[in-house]
C-alpha cells in the first residue's frame, strides 16, 4: 500500500500531462504527410520579402548580390537540415518546440532565456509585419481596381485583414491549417511569377543604371547592410521547423526526419523558383530605380497588379497562421501548465483573440513596422537562420553526462 499511492499519483500526473499535450496546438495532431512539410515550409519562408529582393540587389550590386543570394540558399538549406536531424537526436525523445532543444542544450532556465526571446521577436514581429503587409496589399487592390473611388485609410484595411484571423486563429492545431497553408504556398509561387513575368513583359527601363543609388559612402554602406537584412528576412522560416516536424508521425523504424527532409527539398526548389527570377530579372529590368516592392515599380497593367496583390493577401493570411501557431502554443502552455487554467475552448478563444487584437493594434499604431524588414532581418532573423558554428556541449544529467552536437540556426 505504501508504494501504490505514489504510483497512482505519478500515473495520474502523466495522464494529465498527456491530455495537455494532446490539447496544445503543436502536439495536438501527428498525422501529417511529407507534403505538409513542403507547403508549410514554403509558406513560412516565401513571404512578401521576396518582392523586396530586386531592391536588395540594387543596394548590393550584381556580384555581391548574386553571391549572397546563392550562399543564403545553400547555407540556410544546410542549417535547416541540421534542425531536422536534431529533432530526434536523443533516442525516445522528440524536440517538438524550438525552446525544448534550447533547454536540453543549455539547461531548463538558461535555454528558455536564450531561445524564447529570439523566437518571440521573430514570430510576433512577423505577425505584426504581415498584419501591415496584408492591409497595405488590400489597399493596393482597392486603389488599382477603383482608382477614382474615395481613398480609404490603411487602418481600415488592416482591420479587415485582422478580421480573417479572428476566425482562422481558432483552428486548433498545425494540421488543421494545412489547407490555408497550401493555398498560401500556391499564392507565393503565383505572385512571384507575376512579379518577374510582368517585369520581362515591361522590358528594360530607359537609361537603366546598375550603380549604387546612394551618393555617399556612408549611405552606400548603410543600404548594403539593410539589404542584407532584407535577404535574411526573405530566407527566414527556421523558427518553426521543429514545430512543423512535430506534426509528422515517427517510429524508430521510420523517424520523422525522412518525410520532413523530403518536404524541405521540395520547398527549397520552390524557394529557388521564386527568389532568383524575381531578384535577378527585377534588378535587370529596373536597375537602381526599382522600388522596395517590385509591384510598385510595375504599376501596369492595373488588373494584373491587383491580382498579384490579392495573391499576396492570401499568402500572408497563411503565413500569419504558420508563425502564430507556436506563439499560441506558448501562451496556452503557460496558461494551462503554469497558471493551472483548464484546457478549454473558452480559454483558447479568449487568449487567441487577444493576441490577434494585439498584433492588429501594433500594426495600426505603427504602420511603418512593415518597413522594418531590414532591421528585423539583421537583428532577429539572421541569428535564427544562418549557420554560425557548431559547438559541442557536455550536458550534465542526474545519472550521466552526454556530449552532443547542438546548433541553433
Task: Specify which of 52-66, 140-154, 283-297 reaches the highest per-range mean pLDDT.
Answer: 52-66
Looking at residue 391, its pLDDT comes to 44
Split at pLDDT 50, 70, 90, the class of 409 is very low
Q: Which of 86, 183, 176, 117 is nearest to 327 (CA)?
A: 117
Rounded CA separation 97/95 (Å): 6
What are the structural domains of the chain?
31-406 (1.10.4160.10)
pTM above 0.75, yes or no: yes
Per-residue b/e over 375-403, b at no fewer than 16 CB within 10 Å? ebbbbbbbebbbeeeeeeeeeeeeeeeee
Split at pLDDT 50, 70, 90, the class of 404 is very low
Of 1-10, 23-32, 58-67, 103-112, where does mean pLDDT reach its minimum? 1-10
Spatial neighbors of 269 by CB under 8 A, at least 6 apart, are none
Split at pLDDT 50, 70, 90, the class of 368 is low
Split at pLDDT 50, 70, 90, the class of 184 is very high
Spatial neighbors of 117 by CB under 8 A, at least 6 apart, are none
Q: Which of 126, 128, 173 is nearest to 328 (CA)?
A: 173
Of 95-104, 266-275, 315-324, 378-387, where does mean pLDDT reach its minimum? 378-387
Task: Provide mean pLDDT across the span 282-306.
Answer: 85
Task: Please compute, for residue 106, the number of CA atoms within 13 A of its CA located in the half-sphere on the CB side.
Answer: 17
Higher-confidence position of 89 and 361: 361
Of 157-166, 210-219, 330-339, where does mean pLDDT reach its minimum? 210-219
Looking at residue 403, its pLDDT comes to 33
Q: Which of 210, 190, 218, 382 is nearest to 289 (CA)?
A: 210
pLDDT above 70: percentage of residues in the chain: 88
Looking at residue 380, its pLDDT comes to 52
Split at pLDDT 50, 70, 90, the class of 209 is confident
Rounded CA separation 385/80 (Å): 8
Looking at residue 4, its pLDDT comes to 58
pLDDT in tens, 226-269: 888 888 888 877 888 999 999 999 888 889 999 999 999 999 99
Match 540558399 to its residue by C-alpha cell: 73
pLDDT in tens, 82-138: 889 989 888 888 898 888 888 888 888 888 888 888 888 888 988 998 999 899 999
Looking at residue 408, its pLDDT comes to 35
Higher-confidence position of 391 and 334: 334
Rounded CA separation 23/173 (Å): 9
Split at pLDDT 50, 70, 90, the class of 158 is very high
> Over 90: is that where the pLDDT of 14 sits?
no
Higher-confidence position of 397 and 264: 264
Of 87-101, 299-313, 359-373, where does mean pLDDT reach its minimum? 359-373
> Over 90: is that where the pLDDT of 220 sits?
no
Amino acid at each position: 500500500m505504501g508504494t501504490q499511492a505514489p504510483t497512482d499519483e505519478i500515473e495520474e500526473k502523466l495522464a494529465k500531462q498527456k491530455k495537455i499535450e494532446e490539447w496544445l496546438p503543436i502536439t495536438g495532431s501527428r498525422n501529417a504527410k511529407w507534403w505538409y512539410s513542403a507547403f508549410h515550409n514554403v509558406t513560412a519562408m516565401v513571404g512578401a520579402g521576396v518582392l523586396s529582393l530586386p531592391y536588395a540587389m540594387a543596394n548590393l550590386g550584381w556580384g555581391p548580390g548574386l553571391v549572397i543570394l546563392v550562399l543564403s540558399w545553400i547555407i540556410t538549406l544546410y542549417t535547416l537540415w541540421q534542425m531536422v536531424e536534431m529533432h530526434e537526436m536523443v533516442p525516445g525523445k522528440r524536440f517538438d518546440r524550438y525552446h525544448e532543444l534550447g533547454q536540453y542544450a543549455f539547461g531548463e532556465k538558461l535555454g528558455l532565456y536564450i531561445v524564447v526571446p529570439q523566437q518571440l521577436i521573430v514570430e510576433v514581429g512577423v505577425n505584426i509585419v504581415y498584419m501591415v503587409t496584408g492591409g497595405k496589399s488590400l489597399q493596393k487592390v482597392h486603389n488599382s481596381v477603383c482608382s477614382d473611388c474615395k481613398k480609404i485609410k490603411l487602418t481600415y484595411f488592416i482591420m479587415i485583414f485582422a478580421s480573417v484571423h479572428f476566425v482562422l486563429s481558432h483552428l486548433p492545431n498545425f494540421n488543421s491549417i494545412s489547407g490555408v497553408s497550401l493555398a498560401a504556398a500556391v499564392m507565393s509561387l503565383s505572385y512571384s511569377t507575376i512579379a518577374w513575368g510582368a517585369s520581362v513583359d515591361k522590358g528594360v527601363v530607359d537609361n537603366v543604371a546598375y550603380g549604387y543609388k546612394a551618393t555617399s559612402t556612408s549611405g552606400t554602406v548603410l543600404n548594403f547592410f539593410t539589404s542584407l537584412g532584407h535577404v535574411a528576412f526573405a530566407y527566414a522560416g527556421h523558427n518553426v521547423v521543429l514545430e512543423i516536424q512535430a506534426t509528422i508521425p515517427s517510429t524508430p523504424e521510420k523517424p520523422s526526419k525522412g518525410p520532413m527532409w523530403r518536404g524541405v527539398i521540395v520547398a527549397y526548389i520552390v524557394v529557388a523558383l521564386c527568389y532568383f527570377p524575381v531578384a535577378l530579372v527585377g534588378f535587370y529590368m529596373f536597375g537602381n530605380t526599382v522600388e522596395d516592392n517590385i509591384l510598385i515599380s510595375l504599376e501596369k497593367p492595373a488588373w494584373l497588379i491587383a491580382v498579384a496583390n490579392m495573391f499576396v493577401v492570401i499568402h500572408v493570411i497563411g503565413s500569419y497562421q504558420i508563425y502564430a501557431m507556436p506563439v499560441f502554443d506558448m501562451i496556452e502552455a503557460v496558461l494551462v501548465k503554469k497558471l493551472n487554467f483548464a484546457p478549454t475552448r473558452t480559454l483558447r478563444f479568449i487568449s487567441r483573440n487577444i493576441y490577434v487584437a494585439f498584433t492588429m493594434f501594433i500594426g495600426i499604431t505603427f504602420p511603418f513596422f512593415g518597413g522594418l524588414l531590414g532591421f528585423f532581418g539583421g537583428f532577429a532573423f539572421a541569428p535564427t537562420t544562418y549557420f554560425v558554428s557548431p559547438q559541442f556541449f557536455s550536458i550534465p544529467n542526474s545519472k550521466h553526462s552526454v556530449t552532443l552536437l547542438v546548433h541553433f540556426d
